[in-house]
Structure 1
Amino acid sequence: MSNYNDNPFASSHSLDANPFDDPQDDHNARLEQIRQREADLERRETELNKRADQIRAHGRKNWPPFFPIIYHDIKEEIPEASRSLITRLYQLWLVLLVTLIINMIACIFILVAGSADGGRDVGSSIGYLFVISATSFLLWYRPIYNGYMKEQSLYYYLYFFFGGFHLLFSIYMIIGIPSTGSAGLIQTVQMFSRHQWAAAVLALIATIGWLAQGLGNAFYYRLIYAHHTAAGHTMEKAKTEFAAHGARAYFTRG
């Protein structure tokens, strides 16, 4: 029986449909979407398996990659609004590490070039490479990392104290006084004046490195101080947090 509400003149075909479309193209497009989804799932599964293996082998420790001793994940632990700042600070720490290596190599070339204080420079530069790289990470980078992760006053004051010392150390290394282990400005000028080109170029690169990471750290030091003030962090809060948590909270997320 026919329905009186039906329009006998209505077309059974959609007006939106293009009669010239090739059904095979739609089929191929759907297959391509399925393949992309499968590839994404496989990639995610591989990443999860790799992370699971990492956790089984080292717990949540993942840094440094060649010998994990702490957990370090800016994307996971730092709030989105602060990730770019902490990422830049981490990059500045990497610049510092590279600068320490170049500084040591430059001091070796300065010694070979016949500098009277070259032996002291090499010895001090080797010490800087191991001591400054470790202490800078632990004493100013890690505190501000924890500060933005936990938003606790104690970590900000640790950063300001040791970060301030690092800025002074950077100025000291930029100057480049002979026998101090710095292939800085004075050493660079001396090597150029003696036409010791290899030592001069390496010392110049080291000087630029010290200058770049020093200026970068000074810029972010100011930004972090402004954030610390706006957030209402105080020394009294820092003392209370230290009394409550102590040193055990240094590397933890709690």
Structure 2
Amino acid sequence: MSGFVNNPFADPVDVNPFQDPAVTQATSTGIEHVEEFNPFSDNSTAVHIYETPVPTTTPSSQPAVLQPSVEPSPQATAAAAQADLLRQQEELEKKAAELDRKEKELQSRGASTGRENNWPPLPKSFPIRPCFYQDFNEEIPLEYQRVCKMMYYLWMFDCMTLFLNVLACLAFFTVKSTNGVDFGLAILWFILFTPCSFLCWYRPVYKAFKSDSSFSFFFFFFVFFIQVVVFIIQSVGIPKWGNSGWITAISIISENVAVGVVMMVVAGLFTVCATMSVILLKMVHSMYRRTGASFHKAQQEFSQGVLTNRTFQNAASTAAVSATQGAFQRN
């Protein structure tokens, strides 16, 4: 019994097994600073022993900076406008050159096929060559040939009447020396109306029937209406107007019957011209309504004809460039 020193009923000595030198040495040579792991804590706050978090880089954001609006200077605007006008001028020049080339090709084709100008019909030995080409059977559709020929005959009849009017006014001047004004004006009307009537109303109606041109139709109606009024004035015969009409013929017949008869014949010819012009105007208008022409088409044809004209293009481009350069110099 003497071998037992301690009292079994006494409090046992608090012995910590982890304070053993062998245990503390093993834990100190391994992983240092091992934190506690609580399985019941939130996973978002748990720290794993063997995992190292990868740092995430957030993109650096810079505050938005509003760029001030920069307006072009007047010099830059003028320079840009001038460059644009120069580019348009080059395009117009290219188109004009192309049109000239096509026109030369058409002329060469016409020369190769023998389509030379044939009006007026002048002899080959004459120094002046014909200015127009005219062929009713080739250029005018069959349904318009009759009316177009009648317009041509009316023009010829008017020219003959104007020439006879000069002779009648000359006879009127021989009876009374105070009637020299009528004789002078008669010569002027013959020189003026003969070519102008051909160019201003006969050729437009010829072109209108040839190409079904709305612009040519409208131009013809405008000018030929004035011609109808002129025919009526000439047939009336107002004194001192250079026309051998009914008034002047009746006023002289009591003094000289022969001169009065000649002037009455010319007055009758002017009356025939006025009557035929009214009839032909109505006939052309009825055919015009069947062709489908309109004022809108006439405007389009006029604008296209003007814009494609080389002289107009050069004048417009030169004026535009000059205006731009002047504005650039002022700025």
TM-score (norm 2): 0.55
3-state SS of paired residue (1:72):
coil
Match of 2:226 in 1: 165
Match of 1:215 in 2: 275
1:141 to 202, 216, 238: 202
In terms of fraction of residues, the more helix-rich structure is: 1
Within 2, Cα distance between the matches of 1:217 and 1:120? 27
Match of 1:60 in 2: 116
**Which structure's CA Rg is the greater one?**
2
What stretches of structure 1 move > 6 A for 4+ residues in a row? none
Within 2, Cα distance between the matches of 1:138 and 1:246? 19
1:88-237 mapped onto 2 (5 Å cutoff): 88-114=150-176, 116=178, 118-194=179-255, 196-237=256-297
Question: Are positions 1:78 and 2:134 aligned together?
Answer: no
- The offset of 1:230, in angstroms, is 2.4
Which runs of 5 or more residues in structure 2 are unaligned? 1-110, 123-127, 310-331
Within 2, Cα distance between the matches of 1:169 and 1:205? 18
- The offset of 1:246, in angstroms, is 3.9
Question: Are positions 1:239 and 2:295 aligned together?
Answer: no
Stretch deviating more after TM superposition (92-101 or 207-216): 207-216
- Give the letter aligned to residue 199 of structure 1: V
- The offset of 1:201, in angstroms, is 2.1
Match of 1:13 in 2: none
Conserved 8 A contact 2:147-2:283: no
Question: What is the total number of aligned residue pairs between the two structures?
Answer: 192
TM-score (norm 1): 0.71
Measured on the aligned residues, the alpha-carbon RMSD in Å equals 2.0
Within 2, Cα distance between the matches of 1:75 and 1:188? 42
- Give the letter aligned to residue 189 of structure 2: Y
Conserved 8 A contact 1:175-1:184: yes
Q: 1:126 to 1:247 in 2, by over 3 A?
A: farther
Conserved 8 A contact 2:205-2:216: yes
Within 2, Cα distance between the matches of 1:133 and 1:153? 25
Within 2, Cα distance between the matches of 1:245 and 1:198? 53
Q: 1:218 to 1:245 in 2, by over 3 A?
A: same
- Give the letter aligned to residue 107 of structure 1: C
- The offset of 1:95, in angstroms, is 0.6
- The offset of 1:83, in angstroms, is 0.7
Within 2, Cα distance between the matches of 1:208 and 1:174? 7
